[in-house]
């Protein structure tokens, strides 16, 4: 079957091509094409890191930041610097394939091109509201494709559950706020059959979600993590603002900290959403 793209997806792909063309022109000393970002709204999909950032309940520590300097220096100007510490997996972050596969890519080995691609957003917020343990199904994916067109190779599939509005309330977000306990977590996410379709058949680049894991909270075997990792598919967890994205047409840029040998790390994810002619710019 030949992929059918909406006009907005084509615009996003054209922007990606323009970015690549600009890089090629720059390397040859030629004048690069202009990138008109005024035609796109930029949506931040990232929770800020602070003392309330949510980590997996058995994480040995959380985010911390210490002030090293803040104020005037002898030369008369202002200077500020801090030191931070964080486990790799918490807040809006990347799961690198090596997180669940010994032969998977580490954070620094992932090709940069895999951090950028057309995004599709599958909305299961209604199902999740009725069932906090809801799993995205194979049929949900097929239903999405009938409405919005096929999901193609290299796309970034994001599942919107509506859970990010619960951040940073650990009890509401995870279903349980007891430190160290992972046996009573309740939140929706990908189901194994849907992940198998997306990873093995559609050959997507990434699975992302606005909850703490690409597996549901009740998972004990982390089959979605293992399946994604075995195919070097990225996991993007604890995203936010997915309600601001269309089902298709956005370009996702998800850049993690480049940690040598890393199993993941803090992620700054943004989406470029084509604006309709005459539409006001998002603030």
CA gap 282, 54 in Å, rounded = 28
Residue 99 known to be catalytic = yes
Q: Does residue 60 lie within any of the structural domains? A: no
Q: Per the residue annotation, which of 99, 138, 225, 231 is the catalytic one? A: 99
Domain that holds residue 222: 7-49+87-274
- Which residues 6+ apart lie within 8 Å of 28 measured at CB? none
Q: Does residue 62 lie within any of the structural domains? A: no
Q: Does residue 58 lie within any of the structural domains? A: no
Q: What is the per-residue pLDDT for 7?
A: 43
Q: Does residue 31 lie within any of the structural domains? A: yes
Stated pTM of the model: 0.88
Mean pLDDT, the chain cut into blocks of 10 residues (283 residues total): 41 51 54 79 97 95 97 96 97 98 98 97 98 98 98 98 98 95 96 98 98 97 98 98 97 98 98 80 56
Q: Does residue 69 lie within any of the structural domains? A: no
- Which residues 6+ apart lie within 8 Å of 229 measured at CB? 95, 97, 98, 99, 100, 101, 104, 235
Q: Does residue 37 lie within any of the structural domains? A: yes
Q: Phi first, then psi: give them for residue 197, nearest 5 degrees.
A: -60, -45
**3-class state of residue 259 by DSSP:** coil
The residue among 147, 126, 131, 115 whose CA lies nearest residue 216 is 131
CATH number, domain containing residue 208: 3.50.30.50
Q: Does residue 149 lie within any of the structural domains? A: yes
Q: What is the per-residue pLDDT for 38?
A: 84
| Domain count along the chain | 1
CA gap 267, 33 in Å, rounded = 29
Cβ–Cβ under 8 Å, residues 117 and 206: yes
Q: Does residue 173 lie within any of the structural domains? A: yes
Q: What is the per-residue pLDDT for 282?
A: 56
């Amino acid at each position: 079957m030949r992929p059918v793209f909406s006009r907005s997806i084509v615009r996003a792909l054209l922007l990606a091509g323009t970015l690549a063309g600009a890089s090629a022109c720059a390397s040859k000393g030629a004048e690069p094409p202009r990138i008109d970002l005024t035609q796109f709204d930029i949506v931040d999909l990232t929770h800020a890191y602070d003392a309330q950032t949510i980590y997996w309940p058995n994480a040995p520590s959380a985010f911390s930041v210490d002030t090293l300097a803040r104020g005037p220096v002898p030369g008369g100007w202002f200077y500020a610097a801090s030191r931070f510490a964080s486990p790799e997996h918490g807040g809006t972050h990347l799961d690198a394939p090596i997180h669940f596969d010994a032969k998977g890519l580490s954070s620094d080995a992932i090709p940069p091109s895999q951090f950028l691609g057309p995004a599709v957003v599958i909305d299961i917020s209604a199902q999740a509201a009725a069932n906090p343990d809801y799993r995205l199904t194979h049929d949900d994916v097929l239903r999405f494709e009938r409405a919005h067109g096929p999901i193609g190779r290299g796309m970034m599939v994001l599942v919107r559950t509506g859970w990010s509005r619960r951040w940073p309330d650990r009890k509401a977000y995870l279903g349980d706020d007891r430190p160290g306990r992972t046996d009573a977590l309740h939140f929706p996410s990908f189901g194994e059959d849907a992940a198998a379709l997306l990873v093995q058949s559609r050959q997507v680049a990434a699975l992302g979600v606005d909850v703490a894991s690409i597996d549901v909270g009740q998972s004990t075997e982390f089959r979605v993590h293992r399946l994604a990792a075995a195919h070097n598919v990225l996991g993007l967890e604890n995203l936010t603002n997915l309600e601001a994205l269309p089902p298709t047409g956005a370009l996702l840029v998800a850049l993690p900290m480049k940690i040598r040998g890393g199993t993941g790390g803090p992620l700054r994810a943004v989406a470029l959403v084509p604006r309709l002619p005459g539409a006001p710019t998002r603030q």
